[in-house]
Amino acid sequence: MSQRIILNETSYFGAGAIAHIVPEVQKRRFNKALVVTDKELMRFNVVCKVTELLDRHGLAYSIFDETVANPTIEVVQKGVSAYKAAAADYIIAIGGGSPIDTAKAIGIIINNPEYADVRSLEGTAATANKSVPIIAVPTTAGTAAEVTINYVITDTHNKRKFVCVDPHDIPVVAIVDSEMMSSMPKSLTAATGMDALTHAIEGYITKAAWELTDMLHLKAIEIIARSLRGAVNNEAQGREGMALGQYMAGMGFSNVGLGLVHGMAHPLSAFYDTPHGVANAILLPPVMAYNADFTGDKYRDIAKAMGVPNTERMSIQEARQAAVNAVRQLSQDVGIPANLRSVGVREEDIPALARSAFEDVCTGGNPRETSIPEIEQLYRAIY
């Protein structure tokens, strides 16, 4: 059976990597950028680190800063209008997953206007043309949106998030600069870091996993496990490690898919605007326990990558429990809430959440077959 890997044309890593934006723009002969970001990053002078570079070299741009934490259909459509009004020919996306996901949807619709309703992009859309060129500059270490072929949009009218999978949407250039992430508060660093760990673990155990992505995911787990606590304390080494680890996880899961943690997390964001990383972090240990008996010996590898000693001497059940315990301990250490009630989930909504989670595209990749009643039981256990 053949396998496929899709990655950026070019990626830059390390402190100061944003300096590479200018020569990339110049050699590609781009004329004007639409900078897609959010108001928080504007207010905290994060975006200006890039725009000052552009100004210094006489590179034209307009700014669209109306992205929101869980990007909506309406925001995407506003962004499409902003791109046209700016007469731009490429996008610089600056932010976490939300601005980059918004940029992907804008870029796809500009070159595939038949999808202007946005909803028709759900799933694997048969777009004919590549997105307009995107240079992605992540400011969080978690989503890896800069290297994935996925993006997630919220349909507020129907209270649901939908996943779009399109090889045409991947940014042509990724700038993974840990200095762009240094202003993240502790809570956001923790949540996005646990999101990255979820990507790595779910990517490792998903049905479509294979040797090349396994290598990426295991190394990502190792780097994240040793780096996240330091990143939360704003240590440079921890920030640098998380920037790399989350990208490696994205290299893998983008090409093989995810599982039930993401399937259950997406409805929480759609119903309550729960930050995606927080939702994943709360769900990850209990869903790992739910999946354990359907993962072969992979949890032993996860436990070892998490730094658990003597995993080779453990029984398979002991190794599985050790992996779950190590993930739960890391989550606690970085201050993730312990249950769903603490982030505003209402018990009466659980049946609707379970139905939405069962229908989510990510759930199909889960190693254990599931059902609406079982998902409902999981939500209640974590409530």
Q: Are strands 160-165 and 150-155 parallel, antiparallel or unpaired?
A: antiparallel
* Residue 270 pLDDT grade (very low, low, confident, very high; cuts 50, 70, 90): confident
Establish if 5 belongs to a structural domain. no
Task: Classify the C-alpha dihedral 231-235-238-242 as positive or negative.
Answer: positive
Task: Kindly state whether residues 163 and 130 are assigned to the same domain.
Answer: yes
Cα-based distances in Å from 313 to 300, 308, 365: 10, 11, 30
Question: What gap in Å lies between CA 317 and CA 320, rounded to an integer?
Answer: 5
Quote the pLDDT of residue 242.
97
Whether the pLDDT of residue 195 is over 80: the answer is: yes
The Cβ of residue 165 has, within 10 Å, a number of other Cβ atoms equal to 17
Establish if 347 belongs to a structural domain. yes
Establish if 112 belongs to a structural domain. yes
Establish if 22 belongs to a structural domain. yes
Q: To which H or E segment does residue 176 belong?
A: strand 173-176
Task: Kindly state whether residues 243 and 358 are assigned to the same domain.
Answer: yes
Whether the pLDDT of residue 180 is over 90: the answer is: yes
* Residue 273 pLDDT grade (very low, low, confident, very high; cuts 50, 70, 90): confident
Question: What gap in Å lies between CA 335 and CA 217, rounded to an integer?
Answer: 24
Question: What gap in Å lies between CA 204 and CA 367, rounded to an integer?
Answer: 10
Q: What are phi and psi of 89, to 5 degrees?
A: -125, 5
Q: Which of 136, 153, 181 is the last residue of a domain?
A: 181
DSSP state of 175: E
CB-based contact 72:38 (threshold 8 Å): no
Q: Which of 158, 181, 204 is the last residue of a domain?
A: 181
For 181-190, what is the mean pLDDT?
Answer: 90
Task: Kindly state whether residues 197 and 331 are assigned to the same domain.
Answer: yes
188: tokens are 């956001």
132 burial class (0-12, 13-18, 19+ CB within 10 angstroms)? buried
Question: What gap in Å lies between CA 169 and CA 149, rounded to an integer?
Answer: 6
In terms of phi and psi (left: phi > 0; alpha: psi -120 to 50; beta: otherwise), the region of 296 is: left
Q: Which structural domain range is residue 265 located in?
A: 186-382
Q: What single letter denotes the amino acid at residue 206?
A: T
* Residue 11 pLDDT grade (very low, low, confident, very high; cuts 50, 70, 90): very high
Task: Kindly state whether residues 165 and 198 are assigned to the same domain.
Answer: no
Task: Classify the C-alpha dihedral 216-219-225-229 as positive or negative.
Answer: negative
Quote the pLDDT of residue 275.
87
Place of tokens 């739960």: 328
For 212-221, what is the mean pLDDT?
Answer: 98
Task: Kindly state whether residues 286 and 331 are assigned to the same domain.
Answer: yes
Establish if 3 belongs to a structural domain. no
Give the pLDDT confidence of 315-359 residue by residue, as tens digits.
999 999 999 999 999 999 999 998 999 989 999 999 999 999 999
Establish if 128 belongs to a structural domain. yes
Whether the pLDDT of residue 1 is over 80: the answer is: no
Quote the pLDDT of residue 57.
97
Question: What is the percentage of the chain residues whose pLDDT exceeds 90?
Answer: 92
Question: What is the percentage of the chain residues whose pLDDT exceeds 70?
Answer: 100
Task: Kindly state whether residues 151 and 268 are assigned to the same domain.
Answer: no
CATH of the domain at 78: 3.40.50.1970
**Of 235, 153, 245, 252, nearest to 194 (Cα)?**
245
Mean of pLDDT over the chain = 96
CB-based contact 197:284 (threshold 8 Å): yes
330: tokens are 């890391």
Task: Kindly state whether residues 246 and 334 are assigned to the same domain.
Answer: yes
Quote the pLDDT of residue 27.
97
- The total number of structural domains in the chain stands at 2
Give the pLDDT confidence of 292-314 residue by residue, as tens digits.
999 999 999 999 999 999 999 99
Looking at the chain, how many residues does it have? 383
CATH of the domain at 292: 1.20.1090.10
Place of tokens 């929101």: 68
Give the pLDDT confidence of 73-95 residue by residue, as tens digits.
999 999 999 999 999 999 999 99
Give the pLDDT confidence of 100-114 residue by residue, as tens digits.
999 999 999 999 999
Collapsing DSSP to helix, strand or coil, 297 comes out as coil
Quote the pLDDT of residue 355.
97
Q: Which of 132, 156, 181 is the last residue of a domain?
A: 181
